[in-house]
Structure 1
Amino acid sequence: MHSRKVPADIVCALGLTQIIGYGTLYYSFSILAPGIANDLRLSLTQVFGVFSVSLFIGGLSATCIGKQMDRVGAATVMTVGSALAGLTLALCAWSPSIAIFAIAIILLEVSSGMVQYQAAFAALVEHDPKSASRSITYLTLIGGFASTIFWPISATLLHVLSWREIFLVFAALNLILCMPLHFWIRSLGKKAGEASIRPRETVIGAIPTHARRRAMVIVSFAFALLGFTLAAILAHMVPMLGSIGLGTAAVVIGSLFGPAQVASRLINIVFGKNLSPPALAVVSAVLIVFGILILLASGDWLPGAVAFAICLGLGSGINSIAQGSLPLYLFGSDGYGAITGKMAAARLALGAGAPFAFSAAMESIGLSMSLAANALLGAISIAAFVTVAVSCRQPATVKA
């Protein structure tokens, strides 16, 4: 696919909403969790257990959300999602009991699926399928700063506000900033549709029609396995590095993940123009598996741990791009929302249990065997991505 000019205004607007969306609805939770546990008289494990259940239910809702994006438009879903996110953050802040809090967190994760990458990618595909792959790359570059910005913001706010007050501040950000921006993008789409006198261009996928179902299953399986591998490691990265003898250096090493994730997207913008989405998916999986194997082989050797964190970050960054660009390349722009919704449902539902499963594995079979098993899952995802890449008869094309 040859790309045309990227719509910078829409990408920048979505970039801001992705930073706020991921920062307020996902990354801040680990910082606020101890305060939530103390206030609601729960253990930290119970709080994260509620969060894991909400991630699972939110993942299951992705299929329905994807279908709605195709029916009414991704920007419309994102506008409603921002309103729901603001309201449920306010409900979290008010919740007097664990039952109300659990309901609020579940609704919060449903709203996350309506405003985060899955929906943003679909909005870019709707706006211009031909430039969508490049737009997705630029968007993930901007969105990659969410953890870098919101971890310190959340920690700083805790010095002057309670977790409930912080949730109210986050609710305001979603309602006052994100919802108007999503509504503006929606209005642009409506104006473009009314003004257009030519047939809309669409992207025709590289997978033949008769092979789409099989390819869909394989790609969903590959992304789900790789998502499980990544989620399991990320949830335990800092304490895991500390447990193998790296001590206080574990925090510094863990902090390399974020910059490496952003760097991979920047490298792809500069050098990855000729790299196809199937190749990107394979590279992302290889980097993640290679990083785990480096840690497995190097143990408490500091350079090895640094290489592990960098490889993991590079692989994760490229994987985010592949989640948006590979379905477009393989299956085309028609029905993109429903396709990515099904993939997200599989990935998020499986990934929700990854932190618990990896923790249980470390207790029962030890860290080394757990890392080896995780690397094996990643290797299976590499084989699945390669299988799909080989089955592509021709590159994706654009049709008016």
Structure 2
Amino acid sequence: MDGAAADAWSRHARRVIPLLGVAQILSWGSSYYLLAVLAQPIAADTGWPLPWVVGGGSIGLLTSGLVAPFVGRMIDGFGGRPTMAAGSLLIGAGLATVGLAPTLPVYLVGWAALGIGMGAGLYDAAFSTLGRIFGASARRAITAVTLFGGFASTVCWPLSALAVERLGWRGACLAYAALHVAVMAPALLALLPREARKLRAAAIVQPGAWTSRERGAFCMLAVILMLNGAVQTALSVHLLTILQAQGLSLAAAVAIGALIGPAQVGARIVEMMAGGRLHPTATLLAAGAFVALGVTLLALGAGSAALAVLLYAAGNGVWSIARGTAPLALFGADGYPVVMGRLAAPNLVSQAAAPFAAGLLLAGAGAGATLWALAAVALANVGLAFGLARFRL
């Protein structure tokens, strides 16, 4: 770590990392993980079709993917402080719209607004902010923030269930909205460091500035992130259904699913202790291999389901770190937020489409064929990640 990076670390790390960590828990828990608890109560209360209720989450992911390049440019130009504070305000506005929605179209509009906030408030924006603050030394900070983020479902699923029980689903949305608007946005605005404004984007991310080798690495990394994002999102939505189709009871499926959070956090702790010895592209390869092994074991049958989910979750836990650190290592800190925004867009769009596509395959061909299709995608991704690990710029 050079002198400037060490100075930035000593001045900001103790404040920035816990702040962004708590922001990730709240932002993920009240957006990406929200419908896991609220979808059934919303459908039961309103009579809206459950697929459309769940589809709100896909609209949010799609919208966040569309705005991701713009968010990256904003963080690169103005820093993460105003951008992430605005993201928290937008998440709050989206949640308020969802909670007050009198009709299904208004509910879906609320998710579109929520998605804009997700684009400016979830991992890609947080990683870009850390890159802007800490430069090339941001890897430690990215790993630390993902440790917090790994507890989002653990904290917010019980909190959401309690809020639904006490306040109803609308009250739960409004309570989360109030936390974002009254607490999180002011905290981000007050406590994140003010970054010097850039008059124009870094030269490395200007059109035509990259070499053909750099463009090839970028395209390869974009495809890798898209494929893993599709596998991850498809399984996050359909895992319990798949496990039950393999013969497990709902209680057993839930118990196995509960292994995901601890496995992700445990893998991130291991990465924090040992990952600095590996180039981030090698970490990306190792994470992809664990994901592929886990999905393949899951496709082999329910007898190996617990081990399969542990391996899959460990891989995804490390993947969350590597998808932030690999672009930093490949393309450098200068213009890193812009690179992250461009990589996030196709990744988030694929995540929006994957649950729907997997649902069609699940309904038409069954759990076995769906798992083998996901395993094939994950294994192909290992091959691409191996190519990228050898593709050092």
TM-score (norm 2): 0.91
1:186-335 residue pairs with structure 2 within 5 A?
Answer: 186=192, 188-190=193-195, 193=196, 209-247=211-249, 248-297=251-300, 299-301=301-303, 304-335=304-335
Count matched residues: 378
Structure 2 residue aligned with 1:398:
none
Structure 1 residue aligned with 2:111:
105
Q: Indicate if the aligned counterparts of 1:289 and 1:375 stay in contact, CA closer than 8 A.
A: yes
How far residue 209 of structure 1 moved from its aligned partner, in angstroms, is: 4.0
Q: Indicate if the aligned counterparts of 2:84 and 2:125 stay in contact, CA closer than 8 A.
A: yes
Note the alpha carbon deviations across 1:49-73, whole angstroms, 9 max, x for none: 2322332222122112112221222
**Structure 2: stretches of 5+ with no match in the other structure:** none
Structure 1 residue aligned with 2:51:
45
1:327-346 residue pairs with structure 2 within 5 A?
Answer: 327-346=327-346
**Structure 1: stretches of 5+ with no match in the other structure:** 195-201, 394-400
Change (3 A) 1:51 1:142: closer
How far residue 24 of structure 1 moved from its aligned partner, in angstroms, is: 1.1
Cα distance in 1 between the residues matched to 2:110 and 2:265: 31
Runs of 4+ in 1 over 4 A off after TM superposition: 1-6
1:1-400 residue pairs with structure 2 within 5 A?
Answer: 4=6, 5=9, 7-186=13-192, 188-190=193-195, 193=196, 209-247=211-249, 248-297=251-300, 299-301=301-303, 304-393=304-393
Is the partner of 1:48 in helix, strand or coil? helix
> More deviation in 304-313 or 359-368?
359-368
Taking only the aligned residue pairs, the percentage that are identical comes to: 33
How far residue 35 of structure 1 moved from its aligned partner, in angstroms, is: 2.0
Cα distance in 1 between the residues matched to 2:100 and 2:366: 41
Q: Indicate if the aligned counterparts of 1:140 and 1:265 stay in contact, CA closer than 8 A.
A: yes
Cα distance in 1 between the residues matched to 2:372 and 2:240: 18
How far residue 210 of structure 1 moved from its aligned partner, in angstroms, is: 4.0
Change (3 A) 1:130 1:332: closer
Structure 2 residue aligned with 1:199:
none
Q: What's the C-alpha RMSD, in Å, of the aligned pairs?
A: 2.1
Cα distance in 1 between the residues matched to 2:190 and 2:214: 35
Q: Indicate if the aligned counterparts of 2:92 and 2:177 stay in contact, CA closer than 8 A.
A: yes
Cα distance in 2 between the residues matched to 1:121 and 1:336: 9
Note the alpha carbon deviations across 1:208-261, whole angstroms, 9 max, x for none: 844111111110001100110111112111121112112121110010011101
Change (3 A) 1:55 1:146: same
Is the partner of 1:333 in helix, strand or coil? coil
> More deviation in 233-242 or 13-22?
233-242
Q: Indicate if the aligned counterparts of 1:23 and 1:151 stay in contact, CA closer than 8 A.
A: yes
Note the alpha carbon deviations across 1:258-293, whole angstroms, 9 max, x for none: 110111101111222201100111011100110011
